[in-house]
Structure 1
Amino acid sequence: MRFLAHYTAPVSSDEREIGTFEFDSEARLSSRDNKADARMAMLELFGKRAVAWNIDSISRIAPKNECLAGQLELDFRPKKKKKRKARKEYW
């Protein structure tokens, strides 16, 4: 799955960097393995200057649906009718 991570550099560094990056992970959202995958992806992308950076939040990226191509699809399946409860006659 594809995830989006938000990171910040500490205040004590020369430039306070704030940004995002995308990474792949098979782990669940907000799990320890997912956070470790995000950390490793950040270090691979930015190198040794990212060692002191913190990952603030991780969110899931929704997959793009390419079959629509800007036009809505029509659904021609028959609609299911609701079953009504039997009516009781009190005479």
Structure 2
Amino acid sequence: MSRGSPILKLTQRENVVLGLIAEGFTDREIAEQLSFSISTARKHRENVLGKFQFRKSSQLVIQYFILNAEALKKTIPGTLPTLARFANVKF
């Protein structure tokens, strides 16, 4: 299986947690939002990281927007950014 394969099956709860991670929520905030413990939020994050074979949550954010391109269109008015728009940006 290749890294970040979109064929993976996430549970409904993992999809919700992935969306909250993409929105920048911490484990504590995810736990509060979904009414469960911080350790459960951490475990969901770890499970999603493991399924995609990722090591960092930032990779999950990128994967989320790859899988949910419509969500990205809703967050950016107008068109999607192109690489040319970021040519002079230092990361």
Query: TM-score normalized by structure 2?
Result: 0.25
Q: Which has the larger radius of gyration?
A: 1
As a proportion of its length, which structure holds more helix?
Answer: 2
Decide which structure has greater strand share.
1
